[in-house]
Amino acid sequence: MKVIIAGAGEVGVALAKYLRAEDDEIVLIDKDADKLGSLSEQLDIQTVVGSSSSPSVLDRAGADHADVFLAVTGNDETNIVSCGIANSLFHISKRIARISSSEYLSSKYKTFLESMAVEVVLSPEVETACRIVDNLTVSGSVDMTSMGGGLVKFIGLRCRKTSPLAGKTIAEIRSMVQDANVQIVAVKRRFQLMSLDNVTVKSGDDVYFLADASHLTRILDVFGYASLPPRYIVIYGGGKVGFQLAKQLECDAVSRDVTLVEKDDERARFLAEKLESTLVINGDALDDALVDELNLKNYKIGIATTNSDESNILLSLISKRAGIERTCALIHNPLYNNVLSGLGIDTTIDPNAVMVSSILQYLRKGRVKDDYFIQSGIGEILEIEALKTSRITKNNLGKIKIPEGVVVGGVLRGDLFMLPNKDLMVKEKDIVFLFVERGHVQDAERLFSVGISFF
């Protein structure tokens, strides 16, 4: 597959790295030659200096032979025009545009975007807000999403010193919840995936598992993690992400008592006009006087969404010190994640990883029903429907060679989530959940393909 990526920002480079690991042909375009730098040699990709809204630049990028065009520059108009050119002049079949402006996201402009051949619109701020909401309810989660129509949960938990998971092997952890449908699919220690066969979980490790959604409360209780209702929330920062988050919480029938703190006077007035039930406070949350006025001990959840990683870290630590049970911080620099694990910040959300995840969902095709990109970049969770011709249906799992880098996390048959075992026979129309390490998607493909491509 040949992919052209317009924009060598953090999202564009992250996409280039990830897709190149799958042996896709990647071309990265940017007007700034310094941004492209030595990426061509580092990632083994082609780079082109110029504007993606220029036909001649797309021509130099080989757009005539491209399968996918991803417009992820920081300029909405450039992304929109680029998609139109990619379609009209070069007939690229799949076109995705990153759009940040709330104006373009309004339903009344949907027809306009369609006329410009923008096939898929993704908003970094909306996608990030959605991811934050998904992660709100479980203390200690580093990743969380619903799959299988809500019947299955994928969760990543960071092991704490006091967690019952610490010092346990995978077999011992399974015995703790043998009456519940839960399958551990990966353990990450710092930047490395551990072998599930012989790992002993340590404090600071991230443990990833798939579970029957109806068993989740019991599983979390056994693992030593609390589930909190999304109520009594304070949001620090009323930028695009904070605004979208507040809007989503206002639409959530469960969420109540949301306060948003914004230090810019004009922005605070805008937020007060646009938000209905959210209490907007104009002030600097890093100011001691305002912290005292907020009386943070009355809140259950604190979410820091400013544009500064350092401010978000400080705000989360202040929240913890004040007695807030659950904290969440937007962190753009992934190097912070391992440093923060011992400081008491419960969850970090990387907006760039969120965008990569959203884009990958649209790149997969065929019988892939869902695709979740794990924030740390270790891999993906794929939800795939089995066909009669799929190799995975030809024998029981014990007699099928599962490729290296692929772990079967469970099978959904109708409304029943089943754990994988050597005697389980996958049937046509079953939904299979796979953890796939980075760079092993094509290996997973072979389990589901007999002369048919699903990806």
Q: Is 140 left (phi over 0), alpha (psi -120 to 50) or beta?
A: left
CATH number of 130-223: 3.30.70.1450
Task: Specify the CATH architecture of the domain 2-122.
Answer: 3-Layer(aba) Sandwich (3.40)
Closest among 52, 119, 120, 116 to 84, alpha carbons compared: 116
pLDDT at 244 over 80: yes
pLDDT for position 90: 97
Is the pLDDT reported for residue 366 higher than 80?
A: no
Number of helices (H), then strands (E), in the chain: 17, 22
Residues 6+ apart with CB under 8 A from 374: 143, 156, 186, 208, 380, 381
> What is the tens place of the pLDDT at every residue in 26-76?
999 999 999 998 999 999 999 999 999 999 999 999 999 999 999 999 999
- For the chain, the structural domain boundaries read 2-122, 130-223, 231-349, 360-448
Question: Which of 24-33, 104-113, 251-260, 347-356 has maximum average pLDDT?
Answer: 24-33
- Collapsing DSSP to helix, strand or coil, 139 comes out as coil
Q: The domain 231-349 is classified under which CATH number: 3.40.50.300, 3.40.50.720, 3.30.565.10, 3.30.470.10?
A: 3.40.50.720
Angle at 120 between CA 114 and CA 126, to 5 degrees: 115
pLDDT digits (tens, 9 = 90+) for 82-99: 999 999 999 999 999 999
Give residue 369's pLDDT: 84
Tokens 């373009």, residue? 104
User: What pLDDT is stored for residue 454 in this prediction?
Assistant: 42
Between CA 143 and CA 17 the distance in angstroms is 21
Q: How confident is the model at residue 387, as a pLDDT?
A: 87
Estimate to the nearest angstrom the gap between the alpha carbon of 90 and the chain centroid: 31
Q: Looking at the domain that runs over 360-448, which CATH code has it been given?
A: 3.30.70.1450
Residues 251-269, mean pLDDT to the nearest whole number? 88
Q: Of 200-214, 338-352, 359-373, 383-397, where does the model show the most confidence?
A: 200-214
The whole-number pLDDT of residue 32 equals: 95
Residue 436 bridge partners (DSSP): 380, 406
What's the pLDDT at 443? 87
CA pseudo-torsion sign 372, 29, 34, 46 = positive
Provide the pLDDT for residue 134: 85
pLDDT of residue 452: 41
Element containing residue 337 per DSSP (H, E): helix 335-340
* Average pLDDT score over residue span 202-227: 91
Q: What is the DSSP letter of 66?
A: -
- pLDDT, tens digit, 9 for 90 and up, residues 97-149: 999 988 888 888 889 999 999 999 999 999 999 999 888 877 778 899 999 99
Rounded average pLDDT over 351-366: 85
Residue 384 CA to chain centroid, in angstroms?
18
**DSSP sequence for 218-281:** HHHHHHT--B--SEEEEEE--SHHHHHHHHHHHH-SS-EEEEEEE--HHHHHHHHHH-SSPEEE
* Amino acid 338: pLDDT: 63
* Parallel, antiparallel or unpaired: strands 46-49 and 68-71: unpaired
CA-wise closest residue to 19 among 48, 44, 52: 44
Residue with the bigger pLDDT between 255 and 81: it is 81
- Tokens at 328, concatenated: 């969440």
pTM flag (> 0.75): yes
Neighbours of 253 (CB within 10 A): 5
pLDDT at 33: 95
Q: What percent of the chain has pLDDT over 90?
A: 67
402: left (phi over 0), alpha (psi -120 to 50) or beta: beta
CB atoms within 10 A of CB 175: 10
Q: How far is the C-alpha of 230 from the C-alpha of 249, rounded, in Å? A: 9
Same fold, 130-223 and 231-349: no
User: Among 330-334, 335-339, 386-390, 406-410, where is mean pLDDT lowest?
Assistant: 335-339
Q: How far apart are CA 140 and CA 155, in angstroms?
A: 10
Look at residues 385, 229, 396 and name the one whose alpha carbon lies nearest to residue 299: 229
Averaged pLDDT score across all residues of the chain: 90
How is residue 429 written in tokens?
Answer: 């129309």
Using an 8 Å Cβ cutoff, are 60 and 37 in contact? Answer: no
- Say whether pLDDT at 365 is over 70: no
Assess whether pLDDT exceeds 50 at residue 451: no
% of the chain with per-residue pLDDT over 70: 95
d(CA 265, CA 267): 6
